[in-house]
Structure 1
Amino acid sequence: MTNAAAQPAHEWPYPRWIAHRGAGKLAPENTLAALRLGSTYGYRMFECDAKLSADGVAFLLHDDTLDRTTNGRGVAGEQPWSALSQIDAGSWHSLGYAGEPLPTLERIARFCLASGHWLNIEIKPTTGSERATGLAVAQLAQHLWADQPDTQTPLLTSFKPEALAGAQEAAPGLRRGLLLDTLWEGWQRAASELGCQALVCNHRLWTAELRAEARSLGLRALAYTVNEPEDVQRLLDLQLDGIITDKVDRFKPEA
């Protein structure tokens, strides 16, 4: 197991600016269309949510259910990929994206590999399948990026320690990050035991004290979802390593 503190500070290949769910809200989230649009704004790294179909296919969707962002209904993880692949994941957003499909994680990975982009894969398991999803997503990522240099491999993150434990077991060499919406007791130990290299927090949690603590633990510091200029400036002043934003049209990523 790789200890977080053992990772030298310079071994962080990712750009600071990360497009949330592809292109934030300008295109249907977690679709190939969203990544393509985000890339036209100069973004080179994308965050996306990955879960498993009933027959074990890794695909992109944020919620447990299909209702909010597709024309499907019910728990996505209870349906086979043959059914999920027929669902319209674009019409809910706007007519111009009608017919946009749910993408497999492999399809998204192929796009990033072909274009030289980076990927932050949030492991977003259907409730009850945390470890299995972490195992499967990490195994697939390790396979897809097997021929790539370490500087191009994805960052795997999750709010669920069980999912990160599965990822650690399946692909210990891939970088991992613990996502936090609150500073729950014991997060420091969890990040260490899970061999994390990054701490990814709700941007409101970041203070100079938390930044110093993360640094002392050997953790890179990332924030989500940062959409206001004053929040961006505060986080830049704290020297955060990653800023995840919906506003790809407002903030120009660094070259």
Structure 2
Amino acid sequence: MQYPQIPAFAARPGVIRLAGHRGARGVLPENTMEGFAFTLAAGVELLELDVTATRDGVPVITHNHRLTRSMIRGADGCWLQGEEPKVSSLTYAELQTYDAGGLDGRSTYGQRFPDQAFLTGVRIPRLADLLALLQRPEHKNVHLLLEIKSDPDLIGDTAARRKLVEAVVSEVRQAKMQPRTVLHSFDWDLLAECQRIAPEMPASFLTQLPDNADDPGEDSSKAVNPVAGCSALDLPDRVAAAKGQFWCPYFQDITADALARARALGLVTVVWTVNEPEDIDRMIALGVDAICTDYPGRVQRRLLMHGLHWRTE
């Protein structure tokens, strides 16, 4: 199958692609309409985002399975206390009573992003809200790297996992966004379900080798990512064997040999999450297809300094 999504993510002479991670997490609250709007205004045409579903089956854009007290305030304006509620335990209406507009600077997570703007009255959006925004003519070239979140508590619940994939795919199809969407996950079994249900959308296989530390303050992927015992050079062949079109490695894991192998297998390679100038420069030197970052402006400036661009027009 020829996928129309691939050229938007693939490098070409003079161009390395740029994806805004959860919008622009280093600058504005992550996975929010405000963050996505900023990223689009900056001329970034690839958006990475995370999707799960509420108790009443509404696909919503958020990374963690629980509302995390480092970034969520209650209706009283205070940071959450006590047990953090699971998104899947709340209806969409209940979810809208929480504010996702800032970070608690005292938290470990908040300290990772000291430059993120602090907003008030920001809600966790529906996937449908972002898809509607992207229907505007000025956003006709925007493509999505849509990560479906895999809940480790539901690894054995085939029906629940299928229902989540079906709900997400239904929203994308209703918006006629299939030609601009790539389905993306650390959970390769979930991706197999995506391939079965939505063969018109390419599968993007996320990887992180176990010897790399988890990012503090956010859900770990290691419980669902089947790469234990692998080396970086093993990963492209495993992705190709699973009929993936995209390999998305943690940037610390990729090597020149692994990238060459991915190219030989016809895989598009998108590295995540690359934020520091020296790391951005190393990815540029390697010649990856796309760089996913919390700081789109940093990558734009480094690309321009190297005589490169992130768009073809």
TM-score (norm 2): 0.71
More displaced stretch, 133-142 vs 34-43: 133-142
- Residue 255 of structure 2 is matched in structure 1 by 207
- Does structure 2 retain, via aligned residues, the 8 Å contact 1:52–1:125? no
Q: CA deviation at 1:33?
A: 0.3
Equivalent pairs: percent with the same residue?
27
Residues 11 and 74 (structure 1), Cα distance of their counterparts in 2 relative to 1, 3 Å cut: closer
Q: CA deviation at 1:237?
A: 2.1
- Does structure 2 retain, via aligned residues, the 8 Å contact 1:48–1:121? yes
Q: CA deviation at 1:154?
A: 1.0
How well do the aligned residues superpose, as a CA RMSD in angstroms? 2.6
- Does structure 2 retain, via aligned residues, the 8 Å contact 1:133–1:163? no
- Residue 61 of structure 2 is matched in structure 1 by 60
CA distance in 1, matches of 2:50, 2:5: 27
Deviations 1:128-185 (A, max 9, x none): 1544423332232233225x7x3xx111110011221221122111011000011544
CA distance in 2, matches of 1:102, 1:37: 16
CA distance in 2, matches of 1:10, 1:52: 25
Note the residue ranges of structure 2 that are not aligned, 5 or more in a row.
11-16, 75-83, 105-115, 155-159, 210-226, 301-308
Note the residue ranges of structure 1 that are not aligned, 5 or more in a row.
none
Residues 10 and 79 (structure 1), Cα distance of their counterparts in 2 relative to 1, 3 Å cut: closer
Residues 193 and 130 (structure 1), Cα distance of their counterparts in 2 relative to 1, 3 Å cut: farther
More displaced stretch, 26-35 vs 110-119: 110-119
| Matched residue type, 2:73 | N
Residues 8 and 136 (structure 1), Cα distance of their counterparts in 2 relative to 1, 3 Å cut: closer
TM-score (norm 1): 0.86
| Matched residue type, 1:201 | P
CA distance in 2, matches of 1:83, 1:74: 11
More displaced stretch, 40-49 vs 171-180: 40-49
- Residue 87 of structure 2 is matched in structure 1 by 76
Q: CA deviation at 1:43?
A: 1.3
Deviations 1:46-93 (A, max 9, x none): 111100111211001111110233225311112111211222111447
Q: How many residues align?
A: 246
